[in-house]
Amino acid sequence: MADDPVAPSTPSVSSSAAAPLGSSVIPIVNKLQDIFAQLGSQSTIELPQVAVVGSQSSGKSSVLEALVGRDFLPRGSGICTRRPLVLQLLQTNTDKEYGEFLHLPGKKFYDFSEIRREIQSETEREVGGNKGVSDKQIRLKIFSPNVLDITLVDLPGITKVPVGDQPSDIEARIRTMIMSYIKVPSCLILAVTPANSDLANSDALQIAGNADPDGVRTIGVITKLDIMDRGTDARNLLLGKVIPLRLGYVGVVNRSQEDILLNRSIKDALVDEEKFFRTHPVYNGLADRCGIAQLAKKLNQVLVQHIKAVFPGLKSRISAALVSVAKEHASYGEITESKAGQGALLLNILSKYCEAFCSMVEGKNEKSTNKLLGGARIHYIFQSIYVKSLEEVDPCEDLTDDDIRTAIQNATGPRSAVFVPDVPFEVLIRRQIIRLLDPSLQCARFIYDELVEISHRCLTNELQRFPVLRKRLDEVIGNFLREGLEPSETIIGHLINIEMGYINTSHPNFIGGSKAVEIALQQVKSSRIPSTVPRLKDGVVEPDKAPPSEKTSKSRAFLARHSNGFLTEKGARPSGDGEKVAPPGMFLF
């Protein structure tokens, strides 16, 4: 169904001073909106626009159709607008009227009933046909000589009770969707409220007040003025005496549902609206606040002034974004088309990565004062963390006299041993040596973690151009380091097993049997000297007058090292009166 075009003298009063300016700046903003719409949520630039808010059946769709002069929006019971509709009205110098959708580039809709069907099908494609709601936009441009340049966003009406496929929190979701548009300082708010309801309870004004508490961005629209109760009028509402708004109110008369069913044209409805306001005793003195024509003019003027106010900041943000993008683009370098050039570029990137890795390990790349990095961190792990963990290992921990006695008895079997066998000593020592394994494995894992951290820090700027290569390089280096950790841990285990396999008793620091007895005898000797050395009357010791018997009777004991149970060196013990000299080859304890 296509109505006759509306005469230019009805809603579009293009003789206003703002119209020439609006025809130049609003299309530019519309082009920017189309560009940023393709970026989706990635765009951080906030462009000026007018958001239409109101409850269900408040007359939002009728107002928008009256501004366009055509029937093109879905109609019916319940919620009709289920996705945000970005409506860009563009004034043309030709008599042709048509619409274009952003998701159907190049296709022109001259039949406005087809526009309605496309809106319905696109909505159902996204949210289904059972009253579902989505926040994904539908962008529609309408070119007509009978409109003023305006950009409007028709948002879903505020509803209370969920129906169909709507979730139980449909009201909260719709309010959140509306707030995401109107909370932006660059967005004007067109709050639509029916005149036959209490303005103080208006959902549109209530949500607009939350986003614009000072009322500097809100334009109030009072619809359905012709169906108010007799004896009442909206004069005080239009004058802003009930709820004041800086941008004021505009009253309109909508087509009734009967007019829509009878296919009454918008042109006839606008003529009747003009006659209603001209002949009404209350509204005839408020000509600048009543009618669709005045609403279109006011929206155009306010939008142009708003664009002028936000344009400097918008320009600076766009310029800053362009500079940032230009720097990022320059960092990507030139595009290489040939296979040879691509191979050379890849080799160059890998070479720089290897150089950066070696530099970090050698400490030539990054000089940080906050924490240790690279090779310095590896050195700290070996010299501080690992050494400290080894020093904390007590070689005699969990080793008691009972353990030693039991090990000796187990090694002697059913007979008592004259000599202390080597087996219990080696069994107990191996049990203590194995405790060095855990600190060593922990050190290896610390080194592995640091090498992984170095690999992450070595990503050069060239790799920023190729995120897939960067990800793949991370995977390869990570797998390489993990594959090296396992044999390293195996080697550490072998080294510990080697230490347990051969107990080196020839080491200079090892205290064997003979040395232990020598140390014990020296301690006994030192304890006897004070009681046997004579003293003079004045307390001075004369070493030359010490009894010769005591000089010759100093105890000596030597325990020979033995190998495979055979004695290799003779041992002797000093004998006194009545003592027998031990035969050669016997350990004395």
Residues 6+ apart with CB under 8 A from 279: none
Q: Give 451-505 pLDDT, tens digit per residue.
A: 888 888 776 666 777 788 888 888 888 888 888 888 998 998 899 888 888 877 7
Asked if residue 555 belongs to a domain, the reply is no
At residue 327 the predicted structure's pLDDT band, cuts being 50, 70 and 90, is: confident
The domain total for the chain is: 2
Higher pLDDT pick, 113 / 373: 113
CB-CB contact of 154 with 87 (8 Å):
yes
Indicate whether 175 and 298 sit together in one domain: yes
Judgement on whether residues 183 and 96 belong to the same structural domain of the protein: yes
39 & 178 share domain:
yes
Domain match, 281 and 165 both: yes
- Helix crossing, 437-457 with 467-501: angle to 10°? 160
For residue 11, what pLDDT is reported? Answer: 43
Query: pLDDT by residue (tens digit) across 91-136?
Result: 888 888 999 998 888 899 999 989 989 998 888 888 876 667 888 8
> What pLDDT does residue 250 have?
93
Highest mean pLDDT among 72-76, 224-228, 425-429, 463-467: 224-228
Whether residue 413 is contained in a domain is answered as no
Report strand pairing: 138-144 vs 98-101.
Answer: antiparallel
Of 248 and 42, the structure prediction assigns the larger pLDDT to 248
Task: Report the percent of the chain where pLDDT is more than 90.
Answer: 8
* 411-452 tens-digit pLDDT: 777 777 667 777 777 788 888 888 888 888 989 899 888 888
What kind and span of H or E run contains 357? helix 339-362
Q: Is residue 565 part of a domain?
A: no
- What whole-number percentage of the chain has pLDDT above 70? 79
Claim to verify: residue 263 and residue 375 sit in the same structural domain:
no
Average the pLDDT over 392-405 and give the result.
Answer: 78
Question: Which tokens go with 461?
Answer: 């700027």
Question: 185 in a domain, yes or no?
Answer: yes
Amino acid 15: pLDDT = 40
- With a cut of 80, say whether residue 43 has pLDDT above it: no
140 three-class SS: strand
Residues 133 and 247 in one domain: yes
Q: Is the pLDDT of residue 330 over 60?
A: yes
Q: Are residues 307 and 351 in the same domain?
A: no
Of 504, 536, 554, the position where a domain reaches its end is 504
Are the C-beta atoms of 140 and 119 separated by less than 8 Å?
Answer: yes
Q: Say yes or no: 273 and 228 in one domain.
A: yes
Structure tokens of 428? 């107990």
Tell whether 422 is covered by a domain: no
User: H or E element: which one contains 238?
Assistant: helix 235-238
pTM: 0.56
Is the domain of 52 the same as that of 126? yes
Give 154's DSSP letter: E
Q: Give me the domain span that covers residue 383.
A: 343-393+435-504
CATH number of residue 355's parent domain: 1.20.120.1240
Give the pLDDT band of residue 21 (cuts 50, 70, 90): very low
Q: Which of 27-41, 207-221, 537-551 has the lowest mean pLDDT?
A: 537-551
Of 271, 295, 315, which residue sits at a domain end?
315
Q: At what angle do helices 467-501 and 422-433 cross, to 10 degrees?
A: 160
The CATH number covering residue 48 comes to 3.40.50.300
Shared-domain flag, residues 213 and 309 = yes
**pLDDT over 80 at 88, yes or no:** yes
| Residue 286 belongs to some domain of the structure | yes
257 and 212 in one domain?
yes
Q: Of residues 563 and 452, which shows the higher confidence score?
A: 452
237 and 385 together in one domain: no
Tokens of 15: 């003789």
CA distance 241 to 45: 36
3-class SS at 290? strand
Q: How confident is the model at residue 368 (pLDDT cuts 50, 70, 90)?
A: low
What are the φ and ψ backbone dihedral angles of 213, each rounded to 5 degrees?
A: -65, -25
- Rounded to an integer, the average pLDDT of 48-53 is 88
What's the pLDDT tens digit per position in 140-173? Answer: 999 988 888 888 898 888 887 777 767 788 888 8
